[in-house]
Amino acid sequence: MAKTEDEIMQGDLQGIPREKLMEMLRWMVLSRRFEEKTAEAYQTGKIGGFCHLYIGQEAVAAGAIAALREDDYVFTAYRDHAQALVRGVSSDAVMAELYGRVGGASRGAGGSMHIFDRDVNFMGGHGIVGTHLPLAAGVGYAIKYRGGDQVVLCFFGDSVVNGGPFHEAFNMVAKWELPVVYVVENNSYGMGTDIDRVAAVDDLFTRACAYQGKKAEQVDGMDVLAVYDATNRAVERARETSRPTFIEARTYRYLGHSMSDPAHGTYRSREEVQAERDNDAINSLVDRMEEAGLLTEEEYKELDAAVIEEVERAAEFAEASPVPGRDEIYAHVYADEFRGGLDRRDAWR
């Protein structure tokens, strides 16, 4: 027997209401479509530099950020497009940033790896592996210093766990009880190196056991509901007790490390990638919602079409946005007028 509209609207999956499910689905589809457009624009030379795509991992950004409040903070590494979009940076601003235009989130100064948006506390895209973990701890310190109840959510890749900043940050947030939730997106490969080849302990969440007070758990990063649930609990713990949590989300990236790297080859096979694609996070959520009678095929097509239109509009916006002029060169290096004297020391340009 068909459900009434009210029953559908009030339905849920694992206690997560349909409204939240639809929100997360939309973020995942937007991330996917946005990056497909990104790939096309990169291949046709409209986007330059290093460009790391997130396709395959969408459930992590969508599920984790969905657990945040508007005044919470988000840090991430250089694979940052989806986190920015889910956090609420507009598609226009992200695409224009990739195009290097003034209309970009960072006025075209950062590019793919350095998307920032102060309005939504999106604290950036950081390009050096591990460098942003202590920064996130610092925002946590500032929250505690002021007696606030915001939470910092910090994403990073699996390679980070073998470096110094990971341990230095974990030690400080645990010792000083800072409200930071760290999420490692374990997609098994640091660029083209299998984590097994370089990590002494490859169940990454167990690394946190060295830091008393830091809770850790492992979740299926291809299941947006599981990511949301785990992050939700961690955020609540941080908000109420100012204690940090470490979440390991097991996920998978379908494409190469960056646009200039192959999707498969020496380090993994085409078959392996295909098998993971069959376990796609978006399809999995759609199937479960359809089975539960919370989504029709028609509704999904409409959502997809609307997202595609948004992405096309973003590309048009980026194309039309002005290229930064000479007046932008020194504009944001210092808070005051000082320009380092370079404009006086090189008269030839």
Partner 1 sequence: MALITYREALNRALREEMRRDDRVFIMGEEVGEYDGAYKVSKGLLDEFGEMRVRDTPIAENGFAGLGVGAAVAGLRPVVEFMTWNFALLAYDAIVNSAAKMRHMSGGQFTVPIVFRGPGGSALQLAAQHSQVPDPWYANIPGLKVCTPATPADALGLLKSAIRDDDPVVFIEGELLYNVKGEVPDDEHLVPIGLADIKRVGEDVTIVTHSKMVHVAMQAAEKLAAEHEVEAEVVDLRSLRPLDLDTYVASVKKTNRAVVLEEGWPVAGIGAQIVDDIQREAFDYLDAPVARVSGLDVPMHYARALEKLIVPDAEAVIRAVKHVCYLD
Partner 2 sequence: MATKIVMAQLSPTMEEGKLLEWKVAEGDTIEASDLLAEIETDKANMDIEALGGGVVLKILVQEGETVPVGALIGIIGEEGEDISSLLAEAEAAASGTPVEAEPVESAPVESPPVAEESVVPPAPPATPPAAPEPVAPAPLAPVSPPVEPPPGVELPHSHAGESSVTGTVKASPVARRMAHEAGLRVSDIPGSGPGGRVVKRDVEAAISAGVQASAPTPPTAAVPAPAQADAALPVGPPRLVDETLEPSQMRKAIARRLVTSIGPVPHFFLTIEVDMGRILELRKAMNGRLESGKIGVNDILVKVTAEALARHPEINASWQGDTIRRHGSVDIGIAVAIEDGLITPVLRDADRKGLLQITTEASELVGRAREKRLLPEEYQGATFSVSNLGMFDIDQFTAIINPPEAAILAVGSTSEKAVVVDGEITVRQRMRVTMSCDHRVIDGASGARFLQTFKAMIENPLELVL
Strands 16-17 and 12-13 turn out to be antiparallel
In 3D, which of 225, 228, 301, 222 has the Cα closest to residue 254?
222
Instruction: Compare residues 175 and 270 and give the one whose CB is closer to partner 1.
Output: 175
Distance separating alpha carbons of residues 230 and 317, to the nearest angstrom: 37
Binding partner at 44 among partner 1, partner 2, none, C-beta below 5 to 8 Å by kind: partner 2
Q: Judged by CB, which is closer to partner 1: 128, or 275? A: 128
Partner from partner 1, partner 2, none contacting 260, C-beta within 5 to 8 A by type: partner 2
Q: Does 144 bind partner 2 (CB under 8 A)?
A: no
Q: What is the torsion angle, in degrees rounded to the nearest 10, for the CA atoms of residue 282, residue 263, residue 88 and residue 300?
A: -30
**Residue type, position 239, single letter:** R
Bridge pairing between strands 73-76 and 16-17: unpaired
| Residue found under tokens 């970009």 | 104
| 296 touches partner 2 by CB under 8 A | no
Of the candidates 252, 309, 287, 282, the one whose C-alpha atom is nearest the C-alpha of residue 29 is 282
Query: Residue 59's binding partner, choosing from partner 2, partner 1, none, with beta-carbon cut-off 5 to 8 A by kind?
Result: none
Question: What string marks each residue from 255 to 284 as x (binds partner 1 by CB under 8 A) or -?
Answer: ------------------------------
Q: Does the protein bind partner 2 through residue 340 (CB under 8 A)?
A: no
Binding flag, residue 135, partner 1 (CB under 8 A): yes
Taking the complex as a whole, how short is the minimal distance between the CB of residue 30 and partner 1, in angstroms?
23
Farthest CA pair distance, the chain: 79
CB 320 to partner 2: min, Å:
11
Would you tell me how many other CB atoms lie within 10 Å of the CB of residue 28? 26
Which partner, partner 2, partner 1, none, binds residue 235 by CB below 5 to 8 Å per kind?
A: none
Near partner 1 by CB under 8 A: residue from 139, 204, 219, 222: 139
Q: Which is nearer to partner 1, 54 or 116 (CB)?
A: 116
The strand pairing partners of 246, in sequence order, are 182, 216
Rounded to whole angstroms, the Cα distance separating 39 from 33 reads 10
- What b-and-e string marks burial along 120-131, b requiring 16 or more CB atoms within 10 Å of the CB? bbbbbbbbebbe
Q: What single DSSP character describes residue 152?
A: E
Judge whether 324 and 96 are in contact, CB under 8 Å: no
Question: Of 63 and 140, which has the nearer Cβ to partner 1?
Answer: 140
Binding to partner 1 in span 63-102, by CB under 8 A: 73
Residues in the site for partner 1, rule: CB under 8 A? 73, 104-110, 114, 116-118, 123-124, 126-128, 131-145, 164-165, 167-169, 171-172, 175, 331-336, 338, 340-342, 344-345
Residues in the site for partner 2, rule: CB under 8 A? 40, 42-46, 48-50, 100, 256, 259-263, 265, 323-324, 347
